[in-house]
């Protein structure tokens, strides 16, 4: 493809993308294809001779669109959003055009320097303490995902712990002590923390213990439960070295009790605390949420995904650390071909030492474009509007206590609800499911379910969830919270509007009534 052909193709592609965004609401939000659909309609191998762009482009609508679930659809209310905006896309386009695998400053100084600048902007915007800024001993780095950020900091935490806890030893004695300690290391996270902490422990080669969540505050982690597990680990001869504290858990957007966690750290200062704010961290751009950063100076690292709620295209997971040297100590390996005078001078940042891969994309561009296009006020407005929509949705759900129960108070544009079996005639009485299937369901999904009422509600809620998604007008997520099956509805999509939220409520009511009538409840 030469320049003239690229110009023509790019214009056609941009036109098609704009049209897609303008009409996305007319599409079915969830794909209907069967597994393996694409293999059946694509040839066995690539063409021998190159094809014209016009022919390739046609296959977007014909072959790819049917297999897409439209995350940018205003009725996409599942999981957490993956934001996409035009400035974010432009950032991706330029990044792709420049394609600089900028692992070291020397590779392309602008890539490194823009990242440092925009992440300092973001740290200030999120009200993180000054210790997380690059002007001190900290700094930010863009990672691909919150999971990647957790692995990265867990490795740094592990090495710091092993280094510092054996600092009084030398030579072979130290090596042996480190080897012995490795087998005793435990990473911690609340049972409601995202599974990426458990996965990170797998990768880092440490044990993992889940801490029971509290029953208040949307099931956040309490200091008491944290302390009990730490004490228990120590009693067993294990060495807790790391905790993921959540600012917005996946299931209910709980915020762990940071004040109490900080209190426990006074007795256990060697434990590295990482704050996983993957989704809800975006809310910190608004002053009314900034009290959540009050204890942040007690913690070691913080990560939030601009690509979830802050209008930036995937991927833009922004990791901040209080002491960058801990990342560099753990992750810096410098063969001769990566050495250069600038790195040796110590005057530049080489982000390869702050992450797992070597090469990296120019992700700071899209963050810069988004911040400049929306401005701070635009970002705040987006958060506030979508939070308000969540509150509106929750109030609608609460207006039908005969049909729904809100499981946890609305938080960060998320509503978590259950369907209530009919009070006079328990849904369980005529749920058309064999006993064995019901037991299998309650065993696999509701380990804490003890009462028949809970089992009834769980079955009904799951049926409603499945019926809502199979209608495919809106797309929501089912979740099990401490044995209770619930439906999560998120109103944080960049295209979210009141009319869509109202329609989502109507659909839930229609489906819940329909399912309840069917099961005789």
**Site for ligand PLP, rule CB under 6 A:** 80, 145-147, 194, 196, 246, 248-250, 276, 278-279, 305, 317
DSSP 191: T
520's CB contacts (< 8 A; 6+ apart) are 425, 427, 429, 430
Smallest gap from residue 195 Cβ to ligand PLP (A): 8
- Our CB check for ligand PLP shows the closer of 20 and 79 to be 79
- Our CB check for ligand PLP shows the closer of 197 and 457 to be 197
Residues comprising the chain, all counted: 521
Smallest gap from residue 280 Cβ to ligand PLP (A): 8
- Our CB check for ligand PLP shows the closer of 317 and 442 to be 317
Smallest gap from residue 82 Cβ to ligand PLP (A): 9
- Our CB check for ligand PLP shows the closer of 282 and 508 to be 282
Q: Which of 324, 348, 363, 339 is nearest to 152 (CA)?
A: 324
Q: Which of 190, 298, 199, 292 is nearest to 249 (CA)?
A: 190
- Our CB check for ligand PLP shows the closer of 283 and 459 to be 283
Smallest gap from residue 300 Cβ to ligand PLP (A): 17
Smallest gap from residue 269 Cβ to ligand PLP (A): 25
- Our CB check for ligand PLP shows the closer of 75 and 249 to be 249
Residue 449, preceding peptide bond in cis (omega within 30° of 0): no
Question: What does the alpha-carbon distance between residue 507 and residue 509 come to, in Å, rounded to a whole number?
Answer: 5
Alpha-carbon distances, residue 114 vs 417, 427, 429 (angstroms): 42, 58, 63
Residue 22: other Cβ atoms inside 10 A: 9
Alpha-carbon distances, residue 474 vs 368, 420, 481 (angstroms): 32, 21, 22
Question: What does the alpha-carbon distance between residue 303 and residue 126 come to, in Å, rounded to a whole number?
Answer: 11
Question: What does the alpha-carbon distance between residue 275 and residue 220 come to, in Å, rounded to a whole number?
Answer: 13
- Our CB check for ligand PLP shows the closer of 249 and 349 to be 249
Residue 232: other Cβ atoms inside 10 A: 14
- Our CB check for ligand PLP shows the closer of 222 and 250 to be 250
Smallest gap from residue 377 Cβ to ligand PLP (A): 27
- Our CB check for ligand PLP shows the closer of 275 and 459 to be 275
Smallest gap from residue 318 Cβ to ligand PLP (A): 11
Smallest gap from residue 461 Cβ to ligand PLP (A): 21
Backbone dihedral region for residue 276 (phi beyond 0: left; psi -120 to 50: alpha; all else: beta): beta
Question: What does the alpha-carbon distance between residue 408 and residue 403 come to, in Å, rounded to a whole number?
Answer: 16
Q: What string of H, E and C letters represents the secondary structure of 155-171?
A: HHHHHHHHHHHCCCCCH
Smallest gap from residue 91 Cβ to ligand PLP (A): 18
């Amino acid at each position: 493809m030469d320049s003239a052909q690229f110009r023509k193709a790019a214009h056609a592609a941009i036109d098609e993308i704009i049209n897609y965004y303008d009409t996305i609401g007319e599409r079915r939000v969830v794909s209907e294809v069967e597994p393996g659909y694409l293999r059946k309609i694509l040839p066995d191998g690539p063409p021998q001779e190159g094809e014209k762009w016009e022919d390739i482009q046609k296959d977007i609508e014909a072959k790819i669109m049917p297999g897409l679930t439209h995350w940018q659809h205003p009725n996409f209310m599942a999981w957490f959003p993956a934001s996409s905006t035009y400035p974010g896309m432009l950032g991706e386009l330029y990044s792709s055009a420049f394609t600089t695998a900028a692992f070291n400053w020397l590779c392309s100084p602008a890539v490194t320097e823009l990242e440092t600048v925009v992440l300092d902007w973001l740290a200030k915007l999120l009200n993180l303490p000054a210790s997380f800024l690059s002007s001190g001993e900290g700094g930010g780095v863009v990672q691909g995902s919150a999971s990647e950020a957790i692995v990265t900091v867990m490795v740094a935490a592990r090495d710091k712990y092993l280094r510092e806890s054996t600092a009084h030893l030398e030579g072979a004695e130290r090596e042996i002590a480190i080897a012995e300690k490795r087998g005793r290391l435990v990473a911690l996270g609340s049972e409601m923390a995202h599974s990426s902490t458990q996965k990170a422990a797998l990768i880092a080669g440490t044990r993992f213990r889940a801490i029971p969540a509290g029953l208040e505050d949307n099931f956040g982690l309490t200091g008491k439960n944290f302390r009990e597990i730490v004490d228990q680990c120590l009693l067993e001869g294990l060495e807790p070295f790391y905790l993921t504290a959540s600012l917005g858990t996946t299931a209910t957007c709980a915020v762990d009790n940071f004040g109490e966690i900080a209190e426990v750290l006074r007795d256990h200062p060697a434990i590295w605390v990482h704050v996983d704010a993957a989704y809800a961290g975006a809310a910190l751009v608004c002053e009314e949420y900034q009290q959540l950063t009050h204890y942040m100076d007690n913690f070691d690292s913080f990560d939030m995904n601009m690509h979830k709620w802050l209008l930036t295209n995937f991927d833009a997971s922004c990791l901040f650390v209080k002491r960058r040297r801990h990342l560099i100590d753990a992750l810096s390996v410098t063969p001769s071909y990566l050495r250069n005078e600038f790195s040796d001078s110590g005057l530049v940042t080489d982000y390869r030492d702050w992450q797992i891969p070597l090469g990296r994309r120019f992700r700071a561009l899209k963050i810069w474009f988004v911040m400049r296009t929306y401005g701070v006020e635009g970002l705040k407005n987006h958060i506030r509007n979508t939070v308000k929509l969540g509150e509106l949705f929750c109030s609608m759900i609460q207006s039908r206590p005969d049909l729904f129960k809100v499981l946890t108070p609305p938080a960060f544009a998320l509503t978590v609800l259950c369907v209530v079996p009919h009070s006079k005639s328990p849904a369980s009485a005529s749920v058309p499911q064999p006993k064995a299937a019901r037991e299998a369901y309650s065993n696999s999904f509701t380990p804490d379910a003890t009462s028949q009422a809970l089992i009834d509600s769980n079955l009904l809620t799951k049926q409603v969830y499945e019926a809502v998604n199979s209608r495919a007008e809106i797309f929501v997520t089912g979740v099990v919270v401490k044995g209770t099956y619930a439906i999560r509805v998120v109103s944080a999509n960049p295209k979210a509007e009141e009319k869509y939220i109202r329609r989502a409520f109507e659909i839930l009511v229609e489906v819940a009534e329909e399912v309840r009538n069917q099961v005789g409840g």
